[in-house]
Structures are given as structure tokens and as C-alpha cells.
Amino acid sequence: MAVRVGVVTFPGSLDDRDALRAIEFAGGVGVPLWHADPDLQGVDAVILPGGFSYGDYLRCGAIARYAPVMASVVAGAKDGLPVLGICNGFQVLCESHLLPGALIRNDHRRFVCRDQALRMLNTTSRWTSAYRPDQVITIPIKNGEGGYVADAATLDKLERDGRIVARYVHGNPNGSYRDIAGVTNKAGNVVGLMPHPEHAVESLTGPGTDGLGFFLSLIGVRDEVDA
Amino acid sequence: MIDTVPRAEATPEQPQPFAELGLQPDEYDRVREILQRRPTSSELAIYSVMWSEHCSYKSSKVHLRQFGEKAPRTDALLVGMGENAGVVDVGGGWAVTFKIESHNHPSYVEPYQGAATGVGGIVRDILTMGARPIAVLDSLRFGAANAPDTARVLPGVVAGVGGYGNCLGLPNIGGEVVFDDSYLGNPLVNALCVGLLRADEIKLAKADGPGNHVVLFGARTGGDGIGGASVLASATFEAAGATKRPSVQVGDPFAEKVLIECCLEIFAEDLVVGIQDLGAAGLSCATTELAAAGTGGMDVDLDLVPLRDPTLAPEEILMSESQERMMAVVAPDRLERFLAICGKWDVTATVIGTVTDTGRLRMRWHGEQIVDLPPRTAAHEGPVYERPIERPIDQDAINVEHRLPRPRNSTELRTTLLRLVAAPNLADRSWVTDQYDRYVMGNTVLAQPEDAGMIRITDDAGQQRGIALATDGNGRYSRLDPYHGAQLALAEAYRNVATTGARPLAVTNCLNFGSPEDPAVMWQFAQATRGLADGCQQLGVPVTGGNVSFYNQTGSSPILPTPVIGVLGVIDDVTRRTGSAFRTDGSTIHLLGDTADELGGSEWAHVIHGFLGGRPPRVDLDRERLLADVLIEAGRAGLIDAAHDLADGGLAQALVESCLRGNVGAQIRLPSELDPFVALFSESAGRAIVSVPRGRQEEFAQLCANRGLPQTRIGTIDVLATDLDLHGLFSVGFAELRRAWTGTLPALFG
């Protein structure tokens, strides 16, 4: 049976259609979810897409975490529901305390959009198992507030527990501490990622297809369970 | 005290501040004649903004008519000029609408908000046609790159374009960044938006059907931008700069993003009779234009307009340019559903009036009649001027050819090349373009630094069609010869679109000039519009819409006359598009077109000698057409795997860019019949370089020969090489080249 993946649209979400397309590229079925509706429609996983939810005039993601749909996402995540937050979605996951740390204004104070190289570190999470450890991939990054920060003890613990999903290589685009591009929770079902894998699923419209692995990881794992 | 219609009738001699609002005495007299009484203060507000240069095109109208009169016949045009934007058929049941507009003056006063609301305004224009906005481009011009004020204006403008467009989720796929002293006190911010719609679902701005509701929806009305249209856009700055700050509008891209999604849902259910955005002149413009284009009358209760500032007077409500507002005409049986969709998106929507067949626009405030006028007189029957025209007294002097000192040996040629690639007008634009999201929506096939941006449009049959867009302008060429300068800008944008493999179909333009009250500026304007109209006729691409920006001058010094031209093209299969990066080992590099000794107005003369004089490159539009045909056909047949247009900086610049973008080396032998300096730096038009894969050379040469297009093989791509090697002259390693090319803008702007 095809894996059904929900993509939440908040007012101001921008990459929601792209996330839906990436799911279909990976062989899954995309299910649009609405911020004001707590019903997750029985999906097998949820993606919180990029964008500027509610305008992000306050701290990014600070309002979105109170959306009715988020109560269901948080409850589901605690029960093992795979959740991927991309860019603004990562910010929402941090604001929701599903992931540690926070994302602040880029250190150079400018929005940055470029093709970014990442080194994949944790390849056992629900969203990264299709990659090899230390594999270097290139996917777009585009953010104004993508600097990942946390206190030293938290960062040490994330490193010790192998919860850094990916690090920036060949240049840190936003001042993230320890070049962190993404992290996962202890269980490995919740992943937050600042770069955009959904924009690297076909070479015609992206820097390549290196982003497809995030979606194949989920759908591949599910297939094994079904078999 | 409220100035009501009865009061205006009772006090005919009361003095009115028409001059302060920008109306001439004879224009004020005409208003009195139309109304058969003095106008109320609210009516005066309406006429003053609607008859401003910015809204009425009173100085340009007589010249712009040529775009219609000389328009070439084409089946591609579904809606022509006159609507908010033209609509072009792209095949497969889809159409696109596109337009470019200026936001120059506000961007000087308040760079971030000026540029941001420039993007917001053009996006709403496109939305008004019933289209989903799918991409933006921005053409920017600033004073000298190292001028202190450029360091204030440029970062703000770029952040504003990015901040607004990124938050709307619209990919920014191209544009220009140009520096010249003449733009120091008058930066140019021209924003282009393109939108997608079903060919049979075009929405038009008109208020039809008596009894239908007039609905104002989107943001609340505040005090921002009051008088912006008439005061800011139609008068030069001079002393009053600082006091005009509050006249610039403040943008809220989130409100606009929500408004876009809300409108598209409303369009999908066919709930509106007519729709118009509120841009320059706000409610005055929307009510008069909607009424004038429809059944002819409208009753509005201004008390119902939702306000951000409850102290606003009716005149201010009418002139406010608060952003993110739209007006729709909705039939009574559709109103409930319309309001429900607005509710879903948390968009404020209020019925403020009714369509009538009285032929009058009537407005009430606190129960009193404050406006009663025939809407056509404000919207369409404004003043029209035949401004005096006089060839500038220095035109002959500036056209004299000067023999500027040229590099004498290969060492000097090498130095010249490195200086040019590092020049602000030719250096890598990543510092700017990396602040724009080019990926959002997932359909960007090409974006800056490519010659044209390209967006995929998948039709119902699954075919991956696409559109390509480029904007170009060259103020120096236009200063030397505005007729041909406009044609060179058109030719370059046309060529840029064809380089990607798309067929050019339609044109939009943003005409940036000094004061129309200066006969020398009017001469430039008349020449440029005639040149553009003739050029479009000859190339077979109609003008579908555009914008005029006058009064771009500081004191008595106008900017370089700067027509910025946007060309839209269509490609049947985006997988066959041609990029500009060299990438395939062993592909041969070919120069298409003829190179002459043409350095008048060139980047070389500008950078090395700080000189502007002589004649711009010769224009041959038949050759441009032929070149485009060959580029399109060769791209489709797979005979070329890269193509790059030759423009500012000539062949040298094009080679450097194609090599660095692909990160591959090239060995070049310049044509022996050409002087190496001319070969490298001449800016002759109608040229491009292409790379031809191994084994296709003969076919490619045959194609050019059959069409009669001159082509010369000038080199070979070597993926292992890390230099650009000009045989017998010099070689430049990529490290040095890249340092020169990429270092300039970050060093200037941080």
C-alpha cells in the first residue's frame, strides 16, 4: 500500500506544493493538511513545509506552533509518527519543543538562496536511511533566519547521541553553530532540516536529485515493514 | 466641516489647493467645467491623483499610441494593451500575462519599502487578470557602485525586492543590476511579474450589472502613501526629500500572499464580475476605473471602508495607497460564498457600494453626498499633452567619434579583460541574486545568471512547456541615440530569450526618463518610443503593456534615457532548453554573427576611460530574427549544448561567464581577420556564442549556411583545463579570473 504523507499548509506556507510533489516523486501519496484542522486524516507521516507561516513577523514558527493541526502533530510525533520539518517547518518543530535549539537570523543579516553541500551524518533516522554515512549531497538552501543555535551542553549531547542529521560543508551559509544543518529527536522519527530537499528531486528544476533520499527513506522503510 | 456637493454648489468661489495637489490652473478649470460647479475636496482629490502624470499618462499618451498602431499581427495575443496587463497564449490551453512597472521615486526615499511595494503592486496587477503569479524579475539601476548613497540605496532595494518576493513564494528568475552616475539621485526599480491562467478564464477590470455589490477586501486602509501617486511620482525631489518620507507605502507580504490564495480560490469558483487591485491612487482609481469600464455608475458609502486609522478624512481615504487591497464586483447570489472564502483566509471583506446605471460615481460620508462625478472623466478623459520636443543641444557633440587609446599588446589586453570582468556592471551578481528565492514553486528551469529565466508549465497532456523572460536596457546607448538605443534594448532581450531556445512572442516596457517638461527629454522619449514601436513591428512581437516613469532627474540633470524592455518567449519542451554554461569536453565554440569595430557607449569606454560618446552599435533586426531562428532550431535539434548572448563587455565577457559558470576551460583562437581588441571587446549586436557537441559540427555549420548566418569556429572546451587560453595572446587562470569576477560586489556591499 502506498505511503500517505500529509503536508501542512499554514497561511504563508510556500513550499507546500513542492513537498507534495517530492512525495509523489518518491512513490508516496501526498495529502494536503490545513492548519486550522486538527484532523491528520490518518496519514503515515507529516511534513511541515518551508515558507513564512503567519508572516513570521514574530519569531519564526512562534505562532504556527499554536495552530490546531500542531496539537495532533505533536501528539503523533510522541507516538512515533515520522515528522519532517523543512526550513520554516524546522523552526516550527523547535518552537514546539519537538527538537532542541532554535533558529535565528543569519549571521550576515541577509536572506541567502544557493546550492549548498551537506555531509550526511545520522543515516538511521526515519528520513535519512537512504543515505550513506558521510555522503556529501547538494541541495538548495534558502532562508533569512537559518542560524541553528543551542547551548554548548545541548550541542555536545546532540553530537554524542549522533543526532546531528547533516552538517554544512564548503562554507556555512548562515552562521549555524557547529555547521549544523539538521537534527533529529532521540527516537529518530522527527527531523528538522534547514535546507530544502524537496527542491532537489529532479535535475530540471534543481541542482540535482540529491534531495530525493529524504522521501525515499520514509517510503522505503515503510515498504520493508509492509513486506 | 465636510465639503459636500450642496456646499460646493453654494460656495462656488471658495479657493481650493489644486496647485498643491499637482493640478495645473487649466486642468482645475476643466474639472469645474465637467462638474458645472467647483469640485468638493474629495472630488478634487480624485481628479488630482487620476490626472497625475503617473495615472493619466498625459505627456506620454500621444507617443504610446504607436505601440497599438504599429502592432504586428499575431495570434498569440488574447488581450492587448489597455487592461492591467496583456495576455499571451502559450499553447496547451494555458496563457500567461506579464507586465513591468517602475517604483523609482519611493525606492530612493525609502529603499526597502519602496522596492518591496513595487513588487507587491505589479504582482496584484497580474493577479487582477485572474492569473496565479508564477515569477518575478527585477531591473535595478543605481548611482556609481562606490558612491556613498549607493551603499544606502542598493542593499535596501535588494532586501526589499527579496523580502517581499521571497515571502510571497514567487521565484525571482532574472533582471539586471546596472550602475551609472546619472542614477545616483534617481535609482530605477523596475519589477516584472508573470502570471499563469487558463486561456478561457481571463478576468477583466469592470463593474457590470446594476445591483451588483462592490466589495473592498484585503488590508485595512491607513494613512500610508497618501498623495504618493501625484506628489511622489510626478514632481522632482529637490529640497523636500525628507518631508516626503510618510508618502511611501509600507508593504505586508504575508497579507498579499494570503490575498493571492484567497483570490485564486474566488476565481476558481467564478464568483466575481470584475476585479481591480488598489495601487497608485488607491480607491480613487479603483472606483473610477471599474465604474468607467462597466455599466457606468457606482454608489459608494465611504463610512464602510475598514480603516487602520479612524481619524482619516474622506479625501485621505480616497488617496491612500495602503497596500494589499483589492476591489471586486460581485453578484448578490455569489456574495455569501465570496465572503466565506475571504473568511477562510482571514481576509477582511466589506461591501462598500453598489453598481448603478446612472453614469455617475457617487460617494457618501456621514450621510452626506461628497462625490458626484462622471467616472470616465477621471479615469479615461484626463488631459493629453503634446509636450514641446527639441533635440538636445549637445546631441551632435556627444555623437562625435573619439579615438580612445586602446591596449597595444597582449599584456595590456589581458589587463583590460581582468579590469572589465571586475567592473561593477560586469562582475558576478551573486551578492544580489543570492538574496532572492529562485526555487520556490518547483518549476524554475533557468534563473539568473542565465540569459533569460525559464518557468515550466505542464499542460493537461503532461507536456512540459515553458516560458522564458528577459529584461534589458542600456541607458548609455539610448543617450547616444534613443531611437536605436531602445531597439538595442529590445534586440538584446529578444536575443536573450532566443538563446535559451524559446521563441519570443511579446513585449512589455518600462520607460524611465527625466522631466517631460524638458523638451530635450521629450525628444529622447519620442525617439525611444518610435524606435521601440518600429522595432517591435519589424521583429513581429507586439507590446502588450507597460509603464512610463517621468521626472527621474535631480535638479536639471535627467537620468540617462532608459527604456527597459521585457520580452516573453515560449518553448514547447523545456527539457530542450539551452543553458549558458560550457560543460561538454570537446565541444567546439562558435561565434555567430558579425563583429565590427563598435565601441561607442561600450562598457570598455565606460570603465577604462570613463567616457560616453560616439555612436552605439548598429541595429539589424532582420539579423536578430535570423540569429534567433538558428538558436531556437539548433537548440531543439540538439546541435548546441550551450549558448550565451554577446552584449556588454563583448566576446571576452561572454567567454569568461560561460567558462566560469561551467567551471571548464577553453582554448580560443580569435578570427584572424579581426583585430584582437575589437574581437574581444566590441559590442556589436546580433551575436552569440554557442558550443557544439562533437560530431554535430557539420550539421550545425550547414544549418547556419542554409540560413545565411555567419558563424566562425573560435575554440574548444577542455574540461580538464583551468584557464581561458587565448591562443597567441594570453591565458588567464580561473583562480585569478574568479577572484576578479566575484570579488567586486561583496567588497562594495559586505
CB atoms near residue B190 (< 10 Å): 31
Would residue A60 show up in a list of annotated catalytic residues for this protein?
no
CB atoms near residue A57 (< 10 Å): 13
- Can you say whether residue B734 is alpha, beta or left, with left for phi > 0 and alpha for psi between -120 and 50 degrees? alpha
Taking the Cβ of residue A145 and every Cβ of chain B, the question of whether any pair is shorter than 8 Å is answered with no
pLDDT at residue B370 tops 80: yes
Taking the Cβ of residue B428 and every Cβ of chain A, the question of whether any pair is shorter than 8 Å is answered with no
Would residue A198 show up in a list of annotated catalytic residues for this protein?
yes
In this prediction, residue B146 carries a pLDDT of 97
How wide is the angle at C-alpha B322 spanned by C-alphas B319 and B324, nearest 5°? 135
Taking the Cβ of residue B750 and every Cβ of chain A, the question of whether any pair is shorter than 8 Å is answered with yes
What letter would DSSP give residue B180?
Answer: -
In this prediction, residue B230 carries a pLDDT of 41
In this prediction, residue B84 carries a pLDDT of 57
pLDDT tens-digit profile of B389-433?
999 999 999 999 989 999 999 999 999 999 999 999 999 999 999
Nearest CA in chain B to A207: B439
pLDDT confidence of B247, banded at 50, 70, 90? low
In this prediction, residue B20 carries a pLDDT of 85
- pTM, whole model, 2 decimals? 0.94
In this prediction, residue B239 carries a pLDDT of 38
Distance from the Cα of B691 to chain A's closest Cα (Å) equals 20
Q: A-B interface: how many C-beta pairs under 8 angstroms? A: 85
Domain ranges within chain A, ordered by starting residue: 4-226
Cα separation, B36 vs B44, in Å, equals 14
Residue of higher predicted confidence among B249 and B338: B338
Contact list in A for residue B168 (CB cut-off 8 A) is 14
Contact list in A for residue B162 (CB cut-off 8 A) is 111
Nearest CA to B284 among B384, B380, B375, B365? B375
pLDDT tens-digit profile of B526-549?
999 999 999 999 999 999 989 999
In this prediction, residue B234 carries a pLDDT of 41
B514 within 8 A of B521, measured Cβ to Cβ: yes
In this prediction, residue B77 carries a pLDDT of 77
Distance from the Cα of B184 to chain A's closest Cα (Å) equals 24
Do A114 and B434 count as a contact with CB atoms less than 8 A apart? yes
Taking the Cβ of residue B258 and every Cβ of chain A, the question of whether any pair is shorter than 8 Å is answered with yes
In this prediction, residue B279 carries a pLDDT of 83
CB atoms near residue B588 (< 10 Å): 18
- Copy the grid coordinates of residue B444: 524554475
Cα separation, B539 vs B621, in Å, equals 7
Taking the Cβ of residue B397 and every Cβ of chain A, the question of whether any pair is shorter than 8 Å is answered with no
In this prediction, residue B706 carries a pLDDT of 97
Do A206 and B162 count as a contact with CB atoms less than 8 A apart? no
Taking the Cβ of residue B169 and every Cβ of chain A, the question of whether any pair is shorter than 8 Å is answered with yes
Do B167 and A12 count as a contact with CB atoms less than 8 A apart? yes
Specify the length of chain A in residues. Answer: 227
pLDDT tens-digit profile of B304-313?
999 998 888 8
Q: Tell me the residue ranges of DSSP E strands in B94-210.
A: 94-102, 132-142, 172-179, 188-198
In this prediction, residue B82 carries a pLDDT of 52
DSSP 3-state of B256 = helix
- Copy the grid coordinates of residue B630: 538558428
Which of A87, A94, A95, A145 is labelled catalytic? A87
Nearest CA in chain B to A195: B439
pLDDT at residue B249 tops 90: no
Q: Any bridge partners for residue B202, and if so which? A: none
Q: Please give the CATH topology (third level) of the domain spanning B578-750.
A: Phosphoribosyl-aminoimidazole Synthetase; Chain A, domain 2 (3.90.650)
Average pLDDT over chain B reads 93
Domain ranges within chain B, ordered by starting residue: 578-750
In this prediction, residue B240 carries a pLDDT of 40
Interface test with A, best of B257, B430, B440, B457 (most A CBs within 10 A): B440
Cα separation, B156 vs B103, in Å, equals 14
Interface test with A, best of B437, B454, B574, B745 (most A CBs within 10 A): B437
Q: What percent of chain B has pLDDT over 90?
A: 83
Cα separation, B39 vs B27, in Å, equals 12
**Closest CB from B252, B434, B442 relative to A17:** B442
**Closest CB from B257, B435, B439 relative to A196:** B439
pLDDT at residue B354 tops 90: yes
Would residue B54 show up in a list of annotated catalytic residues for this protein?
yes
Predicted-assembly ipTM surpassing the 0.90 threshold = yes
Which of B103, B590, B606, B644 is labelled catalytic? B103
DSSP 3-state of B409 = coil
Cα separation, B608 vs B404, in Å, equals 10
Mean pLDDT in residue range B1-7: 90
Q: For the sheet containing B368-373, what is the strand order?
A: B274-277, B325-330, B213-218, B349-356, B297-301, B361-365, B368-373
CB atoms near residue B698 (< 10 Å): 10
Taking the Cβ of residue A207 and every Cβ of chain B, the question of whether any pair is shorter than 8 Å is answered with no
Taking the Cβ of residue A204 and every Cβ of chain B, the question of whether any pair is shorter than 8 Å is answered with yes
Residue with cell 494589499: B324
Taking the Cβ of residue B749 and every Cβ of chain A, the question of whether any pair is shorter than 8 Å is answered with no
Evaluate the CA torsion angle B48, B50, B52, B56 in order and state its sign. negative
Taking the Cβ of residue B449 and every Cβ of chain A, the question of whether any pair is shorter than 8 Å is answered with no
- Copy the grid coordinates of residue B376: 470616465
Do B169 and A15 count as a contact with CB atoms less than 8 A apart? yes
Contact list in A for residue B163 (CB cut-off 8 A) is 111, 144
**Closest CB from A51, A111, A206 relative to B439:** A206
Cα separation, B136 vs B173, in Å, equals 6
**Closest CB from B167, B436, B443 relative to A205:** B443
In this prediction, residue B39 carries a pLDDT of 95
Q: Determine which of A55-64, B101-110, B491-500, B567-576 has the lowest per-residue pLDDT on average.
A: A55-64
In this prediction, residue B201 carries a pLDDT of 77
**Closest CB from A11, A21, A55 relative to B345:** A11
Give Cβ neighbours of residue A9 (< 8 Å, ≥ 6 apart): A16, A32, A33, A34, A35, A49
Contact list in A for residue B430 (CB cut-off 8 A) is 114
pLDDT tens-digit profile of B705-733?
999 999 999 999 999 999 999 999 999 99
pLDDT tens-digit profile of B146-185?
999 999 999 999 999 999 999 999 999 999 999 999 999 9
Which of A60, A95, A196, A199 is labelled catalytic? A196
Do B456 and A199 count as a contact with CB atoms less than 8 A apart? no
- Copy the grid coordinates of residue B177: 543590476
Mean pLDDT in residue range B208-227: 87
**Closest CB from B346, B437, B445 relative to A204:** B445
**Grouped pLDDT means (10 residues each) for chain A, 227 residues:** 94 96 96 97 97 90 94 97 98 97 96 98 96 97 97 97 97 97 98 98 95 94 42
**Closest CB from B166, B439, B442 relative to A21:** B442
pLDDT tens-digit profile of B333-347?
999 999 999 999 999
In this prediction, residue B173 carries a pLDDT of 98
- Copy the grid coordinates of residue B629: 531562428
Do B257 and A21 count as a contact with CB atoms less than 8 A apart? no
In this prediction, residue B296 carries a pLDDT of 82
Nearest CA in chain A to B169: A14
In this prediction, residue A221 carries a pLDDT of 52
**Closest CB from B169, B437, B442 relative to A205:** B442
Do B254 and A112 count as a contact with CB atoms less than 8 A apart? no
A4-226: what CATH class? alpha beta
In this prediction, residue A227 carries a pLDDT of 34
Contact list in B for residue A18 (CB cut-off 8 A) is 440-442
Residue with cell 523572460: B469
What letter would DSSP give residue A132?
Answer: P
What letter would DSSP give residue A179?
Answer: G
Contact list in A for residue B435 (CB cut-off 8 A) is 110-113
